[in-house]
Structure 1
Amino acid sequence: MLSEEEKFKEYLLSKKLKFTPERQAILDRIFANHKHFEADELLVDLRNNNLKISKATIYRTLSLLVKSGLLREVIFGERHAHYEHVYGHEHHDHLVCNKCGKIIEFIEHRIEKLQDEVCKSKKFKPESHRLQIQGLCEDCNKIEDSAKR
């Protein structure tokens, strides 16, 4: 399996784009750890590490990383999009707390199997999907229940 950098370089080459020092720095910071992040958090992280990269370059690079299959956008709605690594990681879905913003990852093979069966029955060839369930996490649910008493 190719490294993240090799896969990104391969993608950029296929689009006749350059692997610039800015793209290298963004890639390195993103893959330094495995967590969900927002573009603005990445901007702050880069600046805290004395890397002066424009917001526009960050957004363009994030878009390229998503298109290359290295990242996935996971949270939408009133908040900014969040991103996570997907290359080399098993597919998973998300529970998102509407109150505190906690993101809980889960893998449920029965859901995956059912989705495959639906696609097969409809003669549909899936390329990707994302499942995100909005609600209240256990902690926020307890707080809300206590407030109702």
Structure 2
Amino acid sequence: MNEAALQKPDYEKALRDAGVRITRPRRVILGILSEGGDHPDAMEIFHRAVKIDPAISLSTVYRTMKLLEGIGAIHRHAFEGGPSRFEPAGDDHHDHLIDMDTGDVIEFHSSKIEELQDEIARSLGYEIVHHRLELYGRKRKKRL
């Protein structure tokens, strides 16, 4: 990803700017999101959070994620066959490959795919405004 994608989002500032009070549980959740480089679901965030503060509730995680999504600070993805996962909202466009065996989400960018999508849309008389590409696969077995 580009350098902008490597910058950690300032979720606390985004919530403060939206007029939301930053409680200790929210601060823990925001720290987990800022440090993570993955696409956690609410339960994963909750498990990480209670290791830091056992008083954090799952409902606090859900409310915080809903707030962040509402102000556009995160994107929620409902990948097939699993719970909603979250990632920072950013300017860098990328697509996802979901490992069907492990649930891992791999981000990738392909200029060939982007060009082909634009070509298809143009040929049909459209301009792409937004799109989301999700590929689902399994690791290939190595041949001996």
TM-score clears 0.5? yes
C-alpha change, 1:111 and 1:31, in structure 2 (3 Å) is same
- Segments of 5+ residues of structure 1 without an aligned counterpart are none
Structure-1-length-normalised TM-score = 0.71
Q: CA deviation at 1:59?
A: 0.8
Q: Percent identity?
A: 29
Equivalent residue in structure 1 for 2:126, among 114, 122, 126: 122
Matched residue type, 1:109: S
Is it true that 1:9 corresponds to 2:16 in the alignment? yes
Structure-2-length-normalised TM-score = 0.73
Matched residue type, 2:58: K
Cα separation, 2, equivalents of 1:19 and 1:50: 15
- Segments of 5+ residues of structure 2 without an aligned counterpart are none
Q: How does 1:26-105 map to 2 (within 5 A)?
A: 26-87=29-90, 90-105=92-107
Q: CA deviation at 1:64?
A: 1.8
Q: CA deviation at 1:107?
A: 0.6
C-alpha change, 1:48 and 1:116, in structure 2 (3 Å) is same
C-alpha change, 1:22 and 1:87, in structure 2 (3 Å) is farther
C-alpha change, 1:63 and 1:136, in structure 2 (3 Å) is same
C-alpha change, 1:123 and 1:112, in structure 2 (3 Å) is closer
Cα separation, 2, equivalents of 1:48 and 1:25: 10
Cα separation, 2, equivalents of 1:68 and 1:112: 27
Q: Is the 8 A contact 1:71 1:86 kept in 2?
A: yes
C-alpha change, 1:63 and 1:121, in structure 2 (3 Å) is farther
C-alpha change, 1:8 and 1:108, in structure 2 (3 Å) is farther
Equivalent residue in structure 2 for 1:111, among 110, 113, 122: 113
Cα separation, 2, equivalents of 1:58 and 1:69: 17
Cα separation, 1, equivalents of 2:16 and 2:104: 33
Number of residue pairs the alignment of both structures matches: 135
CA RMSD of aligned residues (A): 3.0
